[in-house]
Amino acid sequence: MENLIFVNNKDWENNPNKNKPIKVDAYEFTSMYKLGYIAFMHNDETNKWLIKSFHLSGNRNMTIYLAMEKAGLINKLEEKHE
């Protein structure tokens, strides 16, 4: 995971105990030339971080990809893995 970009911080929508909110931090990242999405949540009772979501990003905004391409990073990554 590279180029982590903070997306948001919000309450976990599917929390079964609404009296004890659990916050979720979401980020987009690049891996090779793909845009990914990862979200973590912290449970204060167990004091553990959990991965809530990990998948390709549904964000159609190609800003990160285009910036990497402009910087010449995309071609270098593709050449490295041919």
Write the CB contacts of 50 (distance below 8 Å, at least 6 apart in sequence): 40, 41, 42, 43
Both structure tokens of 8 = 């948001």
Structural domain span for residue 39 = 2-80
Band (pLDDT 50/70/90 cuts) for residue 81 is: very low
What are the tens digits of pLDDT across the range 14-45?
A: 999 889 889 999 999 888 778 889 999 988 88
| Domain count along the chain | 1
- Decide: 67 and 32 in contact? Cβ < 8 Å: no
Q: Which residue has the tokens 């990242």?
A: 29
What are the tens digits of pLDDT across the range 43-67?
A: 888 899 999 999 988 776 667 667 7
